[in-house]
Amino acid sequence: MNEPEVIKQILNECKTIAVVGLSSNPMRPSNGVAAFMKKKGCKVIPVNPNESVVLGEKAVAHLSSIDEKVDLVNIFRRSDEAGRTVDEAIEIGAKAVWLQEGVIDETAAKRAADAGLLVVMDRCWLKDYMKYVD
């Protein structure tokens, strides 16, 4: 987990990204990271039951509500809520999960890896994009 090769693979290959916990508040880190993802050509799917539209995209309440293939599930939730989201990512057949900076759940990360998903934990997608791609 968190190996540079895995990070690079996710950044280069995962273009449909479900952002769990995406907020419409431009001051929230989730909003800034997702806006950057869109700018770089990724399709962003907001997953937040408290939002209807974020960054011009229709929000859904749960990963299971998404009707297309998701490459990456990017998690902006508290660590104690990340495991449930990881399990949903496994259920929908996502290729990878990315637990943002400060989101740490070793057990959930192991479940995802054991299920064949690429896993990054406690890192910022945007910072790693700037480091490895841009």
- Are the beta carbons of 71 and 98 closer than 8 angstroms? no
**CB under 8 Å to 17, separation ≥6 — which residues?**
34, 37, 42, 43, 44, 45, 70, 71, 72, 73, 74
Asked if 59 contacts 22 with a C-beta cutoff of 8 angstroms, the reply is: yes
pLDDT at 64: 96
Q: Give the model's pLDDT for residue 117.
A: 98
The pLDDT of residue 9 is 97
Domain coverage including residue 83: 4-132
Domain count, the chain: 1
Q: Report the CATH number at residue 126.
A: 3.40.50.720
Read off the pTM. 0.96
Write out the chain's pLDDT in tens, 134 residues. 899 999 999 999 999 999 999 999 999 999 999 999 999 999 999 999 999 999 999 999 999 999 999 999 999 999 999 999 999 999 999 999 999 999 999 999 999 999 999 999 999 999 999 999 97
pLDDT of residue 1: 81
> What residues does 107 pair with on adjacent strands?
none
The pLDDT assigned to 100 comes to 97
Strand-pair category, 43-47 with 53-54: unpaired
Cα dist. 95→39, 84, 88 in Å? Answer: 22, 17, 12
